[in-house]
Every structure is written in C-alpha cells, then in structure tokens.
Amino acid sequence: MTNKSKVEEKKIQEKLSELKKNIDQTFVEELLANNEKEFEYKGVAYRIRRPTFKERQEAYQKRNEKFVELLKNDKYLLEEDLKKLYKQRGVDIDELDKKISLLQKQRNDLNLKLGKALEEKKSEPELKIYRDEIEKINEQIELLSIKKTNLLEYSIERQTFIFLYTYLTYLITEKKENDTWVKAWNSFEEFQNCSEDLVNLVSFYAAAMFQQDFVEA
C-alpha cells in the first residue's frame, strides 16, 4: 500500500469513528419513535419531523430537475463513467462492491449461527465470539462503504442524492412563532444562505431521522 493510500485509509477510518461518536443509537431510536426532534438554536425553538407524502413528491420532482440539469453539464460524470475513469487510475469500485457483498454474506452466516446458539442457550463467552465477529465485519462494511461513497461523491447520481436529502431537510424543518410551528425558511434559497452552524445542526438531526427509511431511490 502506498503512502497516499495509507493516508486516505486513515482519513476514512477517522470519519467512521466520528460518525459512530456523533450518532448514538439510543438517540436515533427515540427520534424515530417520536417522528420528530425539537431543539433550540440561539433562543429559537426548532424541530424536524418526518416528511409528508406531498413533501416527498415535491422533493423527488426537484431531484429529477437537478439530475437533468447536471446531465446537460459536461463538467459532471455519470457514476458508470466515473468508475471507468477510476479504473484507468487503478481504483476498481466494482471490486469494492464484491468485497462488501462477500462481507455481508459472512455477516448473514454469523447471524444465523448466533441465532442458533441463542436457541441452544450457549454460554455468554460463546455468544460473545459471534457478536465480536459480527461487529468486526460491520466495521469493515462501513469502512468500504464510506470509501466507495467518497470516491463517487462527485458523480451525477451522488450529487443528485445529496440535493434530494438537502431539499427534504429544508422542507421538514420548522420553527416556533407565537406557540405555532411554521416553516423555518420561506424558500430553499433562504435555507442555503442561512447560518452554516444551524444548517449543520439541522442536517445532523435529519440524517438520524432518515437513517432507517431514507434510501437512494
């Protein structure tokens, strides 16, 4: 492995650790159970909530428009074209997918063995062996997935997905005025131009909200 590859690998590992540190599973479960999250920023009460069907349809329409817009721009590449370019430089993203699939199969096999061990009421040390192996595989999957995401970050598909997520975040954020929840911003442009700290905070809560049911569709 070259020094450059080692540096990139270290950055990915640091990012993975940061994600695990920032998103607590209990917090996510509570957020999903309540379907909303209230918080305060500079003395103003805000909340994010699940999008309505109408809001999802609006966001998907905006996503489609963004996709066509980027497709017309020669500066952007489709995912398949970007993969070919990476392959010319010695980076095989399809090989990453194969590694992820293999790890997922190994994890499924271990989950089955763990389930059988639980049914047979095996000792805690035996169960721990399976759980530790599953955790290690999960970490490897996450590491490879983050690496793949970073590599494809500038593809048209990835940029369109990020836009969809950002637009939905704008739609589901509200603030309290005179004991009434109203839209936090009057327009998407206003959202884009607001405080970076507030956008980061809202995006963090939205990421947790979407963790279970927001997919790249």
Please state the pTM of the whole predicted model: 0.71
Which of the listed residues 153, 183, 205 is the one where a domain comes to its end? 153
How long is the chain?
217
Number of domains in the chain: 2
171 belongs to a structural domain: yes
pLDDT tens profile 26-57: 566 666 677 888 888 999 999 999 899 999 99
Which of the listed residues 127, 153, 179 is the one where a domain comes to its end? 153
pLDDT tens profile 165-213: 999 999 999 999 998 999 999 999 999 999 888 998 898 888 877 765 5
122 lies in which domain range? 80-153
Q: Are 135 and 199 members of one domain?
A: no
Quote the CA–CA distance of 217 and 206 in Å, as a whole number: 17
pLDDT tens profile 71-111: 999 999 999 999 999 999 999 999 999 999 999 999 999 99
Question: Tokens 């490879």 belong to which residue?
Answer: 144
Which of the listed residues 153, 173, 205 is the one where a domain comes to its end? 153
Q: Which amino acid is at 150?
A: N
15 belongs to a structural domain: no
pLDDT tens profile 111-152: 999 999 999 888 989 899 999 999 999 999 999 999 999 999
Show the DSSP H helices in 23-122 as ranges: 25-34, 53-71, 79-88, 93-119
Dihedral (CA of 14, 139, 168, 151) sign:
positive
Contact indicator for 174, 184 with CB cutoff of 8 Å = yes
pLDDT tens profile 1-25: 555 555 555 554 554 455 455 555 5
Contact indicator for 40, 52 with CB cutoff of 8 Å = no
1 belongs to a structural domain: no
Q: Are 128 and 95 members of one domain?
A: yes
